[in-house]
Amino acid sequence: MSGYETITYEKKNKIAFITLNRPQVLNIYNVRMRDELYEVLGAVKEDSEVYAVILKGAGEKAFCAGADLSEFLSAPSPTGARRSRWLRDVWGRFLSLPQPVIAALHGYVLGSGIEMSMCCDIRIASEDAQFGLPEVALGIIPAAGATQTVPRTIGLGRALDLLLTGRRINAQEALQMKLINRVVLKERLFPEAESLADKIAGWDQCAVRAIKQAVSRGLDLPLEEGLKLEKEIII
């Protein structure tokens, strides 16, 4: 798969690497990236040779500094801009992937950057990562799921602290808040992500997919129904 403008895609030893690739503008998310991610995620979902996925950002400075404000805020109306994002359900595609997805986060992880990482299963960050949801300061509501995915991940109070203040936090605070799973030295970020993906790719893939499915679908169910789901999924 090639010919992408805003991302790169590579497959190596059962691992798919998706790289946000607009480093000169901190890998910000625009309509073109929306379309390209939508396409590549569709292909990954159907690819039985992909056992794990790594999502990362190109360049030194950022995983993703959020939505491309030159597109987003110049749209005829914020509602129109939001609607244009809904034309492709990229977040739904992320969440529907049967393979585990690891987000490797460095530098700025803002707005859609956090939101994209929330659609991943395991989040590793380097020490230099900075997280924030600046939408409130722009007079908008996050448009890629943060109001739903962040509280589900870190709890109501901590999510509202980030969403209502727009404040930026460092990797250690993000770890304490459970926004991310682990913090590593910057030079170790991609090797650690790859070694984690390798480990997952080495297991029985029916078990891996069943566990992911049971956990992610079950989380939104009452316990009794979740336990029923686990029984149904058992391999």
Catalytic residues: 115, 135
| Backbone angle region of 79, left / alpha / beta, with phi > 0 → left and psi within -120 to 50 → alpha | alpha
* Partner residues linked to 62 by β-bridges: 107, 108
Among 115, 121, 135, 194, binds ligand COA (CB under 6 A): 135
Residue number, 73 or 207, with CB nearest to ligand COA: 73
Chain residue at closest Cβ approach to ligand COA = 66
Q: Quickly tell me which residue has 């009452």 as its tokens.
A: 222
Give min distance, CB of 124 to ligand COA, in A.
Answer: 21
Give min distance, CB of 157 to ligand COA, in A.
Answer: 22
Residue number, 59 or 226, with CB nearest to ligand COA: 59
Amino acid code (one letter) for 142:
P
- CA-to-CA dists, residue 153 to 72, 143, 198, angstroms: 26, 17, 25
Please, what sign has the CA dihedral across residues 19, 20, 21, 27?
negative
Q: What is the distance between the terminal CA atoms of the chain, rounded to a whole angstrom?
A: 33
Residue number, 36 or 135, with CB nearest to ligand COA: 135
> Binding string to ligand COA for residues 88 to 127, with x set by CB under 6 A, is what?
--------------------x-xx----------------
Give min distance, CB of 145 to ligand COA, in A.
Answer: 13
> Binding string to ligand COA for residues 57 to 76, with x set by CB under 6 A, is what?
--------xxxxxx------
- The burial class, CB within 10 Å (0-12 / 13-18 / 19+), for 223 is exposed
Give min distance, CB of 174 to ligand COA, in A.
Answer: 16
- The burial class, CB within 10 Å (0-12 / 13-18 / 19+), for 201 is middle
Per the CB < 8 A criterion, the answer to whether 52 and 89 are in contact is no
Residue number, 135 or 194, with CB nearest to ligand COA: 135
Binding site for ligand COA (CB under 6 A): 25-26, 28, 65-70, 108, 110-111, 134-135, 138
